[in-house]
Structure 1
Amino acid sequence: MTTFFDLEIQVQPEHIDLLGHVNNVVYVSWMQDVAHAHIAALGVGLEQYMQMKHAMVAVEHQMQYRKAALEGDQLILRTWFSDLNAMYSFREYAFFRVRDQALIFLAKTKWTCIEIATGRPKRMSPTFLNAYQPLDPEINPYDFSDKIEAS
């Protein structure tokens, strides 16, 4: 069992769309950013993918936009693994806005392992299975109270 991973960011002008809030596509980019930072922290990042000649790729997303993020907002992008089997890993995300202590975005992604050369699915290696463990069920990933106290 593992814990969650946090990446703290500030919303920049380039994240804002014509409606004055963070564009929906940016959230997907942030999902990728925090997932890549998480796997790198686990020691099984993109460099290791290339060495192993296989990688994890997203095959399905579910997203819920709860509140708009605005320029200058401080956000905590949190991710964790919620499930794992021989073919798929399941990652969840919760994006938290510090100023009003709001969960602004929730998402889930289903990932599968592929051979990089062919793009064909393959069973996950023990390297992935050992590193990408689901969140300890005793941990509440939606509890940001330690981040509120720190700010």
Structure 2
Amino acid sequence: MKKVKFDQEIYTFHIDFAGHVSNIVYVQWMEIGRLKLLAEAGLPVEKIIRDFGLLPTLIETKIRYKQQLFLGDQVQIEVWLSRLKNVSAIMEFSFCNQRRELVAQGSQTGLFIDAGTHRPAPLPKSAHQMFLPFVQGDEGS
């Protein structure tokens, strides 16, 4: 199983009134991770839209915070799929600090939406196969 791994810098504008990284920054990092996973699978968003007429759309985001991140900390993010169905997928995220301590975990549920009807639509088999290396868990249809 492959994971997409990347580092994100923490900037002053990521810090909230409590002096740690704001919760919304994790959601932004998750979006970056989602786009990186799609690209690494060979299916960047623009290709999914152009070639298949599908819009990869999020319907749920969850984050569990375990520790705080502060200015000067380093963060490494890992992204993979825990479920891949015909019209939906669940992405998992882990956020670790420079000591490799888990600081947060998250997940996002996404649907493939037909660009014309805006209704859920199945991912073509060829595209489904491209995501399989990133799945740890349920690969059913």
Task: Answer whether TM exceeds 0.5 for this pair.
Answer: yes
The 8 Å contact of residues 66 and 102 in structure 2, kept in 1 or not, is answered as: yes
TM-score when normalising by structure 1: 0.82
- What secondary structure sits across from 1:132 in the alignment? helix
Write the distance in 1 (CA, Å) between the matches of 2:129 and 2:102: 30
Is the counterpart of residue 131 in structure 1 residue 118 in structure 2? no
Please give the root-mean-square deviation of Cα atoms over the aligned residues, in Å: 1.5
**Structure 1 residues 127 and 32, CA gap change in structure 2 (3 angstroms):** farther
- Tell me the equivalent position of 1:82: 82
Write the distance in 1 (CA, Å) between the matches of 2:23 and 2:64: 10
Matches within 5 A, 1:111-150: 111-133=110-132, 134-136=134-136
What's the CA shift for 1:119?
2.0
Matches within 5 A, 1:47-126: 47-51=46-50, 52-98=52-98, 100-126=99-125
Per-residue CA distance 1:89-128 (angstroms, 9 max, x = gap): 1110000101x32101101111111012332211122243
Gaps of 5+ in 2: none
**Structure 1 residues 57 and 127, CA gap change in structure 2 (3 angstroms):** farther
The 8 Å contact of residues 59 and 109 in structure 2, kept in 1 or not, is answered as: yes
The 8 Å contact of residues 89 and 132 in structure 1, kept in 2 or not, is answered as: no
- Tell me the equivalent position of 2:37: 38
Runs of 4+ in 1 over 6 A off after TM superposition: none
TM-score when normalising by structure 2: 0.88
Write the distance in 2 (CA, Å) between the matches of 1:128 and 1:60: 22
- Tell me the equivalent position of 1:11: 10
Letter in structure 1 aligned against 2:110 = W
